[in-house]
Amino acid sequence: MRKTIKILTFTLVIAIMLVALAIPSLATNSDNLVVDKENIFTSYQEEVLQTTLYSISKKHQCEIVVVTTRGFGSSSAQEYAENYYISHGYGYGSDFSGVLLLISESERYYYICTSGKGEEAISGPAFKKLSNEVKSLLSEGQYYEASQKFAQMCDEALVSYAENGKPFDTSAFITGIIISAVIGIVASIITILVLKHKMNNARPQKHASYYERDNSFDLRVANDIYLYSTIRKTPRPKSNSSSGSRGGGRSFGGGGGRF
């Protein structure tokens, strides 16, 4: 009898522990936040990434998702990402706030889909910076690092949005560069003026003969020889981003491209 009670107690404890471990998954508004259809993550990487995404999502009430897939079927990457977001119930609140990173190693293509608070917080310069950082790591085959970078930058953008009520802007950074450039130019001008002032031992001459030495210049033959010319044409790059698209009656922002 005692042995039976011990077994039942042990089983009950295990069941409680399993329920407790399942709570974080149930607390999200949707399925897993990491869906690795291409198996580009190890089990450990997927587990760590899932924990990271869940923590950020809960913190900002904005679901951060990473999905990998071998192809998009008959859809574009944008359509695939937006339809996947809708069909799997991602997003917090009535505006379905969230950000989804879609990666296809087979297609060498990525797409970032934003919705609700995610669209408001990550747009303009903030989105461009996020997209460029993710693309750079994906191009090097660092898929896990790109996903972690994606999560980190989403967190930073959402913190900035919560504090300032607007997306992160690079204007302050650009202003700093301009100020530094102006300071450098002014310092250069001052240096030149000082050096010019010190060069007071020279006097202007009215005739060029003062500077000429006798028999120092003897030009006998002069020819103009045309060698060649080179013309290069560089095609203007096309933008691969999009914003304000609509999927399933919802408004989405985002963009992507090849890596």
Is residue 34 pLDDT above 80, yes or no? Answer: yes
| pLDDT exceeds cutoff 80 at 59 | yes
- The residues, any chain, with a CB within 8 Å of residue 168's CB and separated by 6 or more, are 125, 126, 129, 156, 157, 160, 161
Residue 31 or residue 112, greater confidence: 112
The pLDDT confidence band at residue 166, using thresholds 50, 70 and 90, is confident
Beta strands in 63-137 (DSSP E): 63-68, 98-104, 109-115
Question: For residue 163, with 0-12 CB atoms within 10 Å meaning exposed, 13-18 middle and 19 or more buried, which class applies?
Answer: exposed
Q: How far apart are CA 31 and CA 26, in angstroms?
A: 9
List of residues 6+ apart from 61 with CB closer than 8 A: 92, 93, 97, 117
Return mean pLDDT, the chain: 77
- Report whether pLDDT(75) > 90: yes
User: What pLDDT digit, counting tens, does each position of 187-235 carry?
Assistant: 556 656 555 666 665 566 666 666 666 666 666 666 655 454 444 554 5
Kindly indicate the confidence band of residue 250, based on its pLDDT and cuts at 50, 70 and 90: confident
Specify which residues 115 forms β-bridges with. Answer: 98
pLDDT score for 182: 42
| Cα radius of gyration rounded to whole Å, the chain | 31
> Looking at residue 3, what is its pLDDT?
53
Retrieve residue 97's tokens. 């706030």
CA distance 31 to 199: 77
Q: Can you give the pTM of this predicted structure? A: 0.62
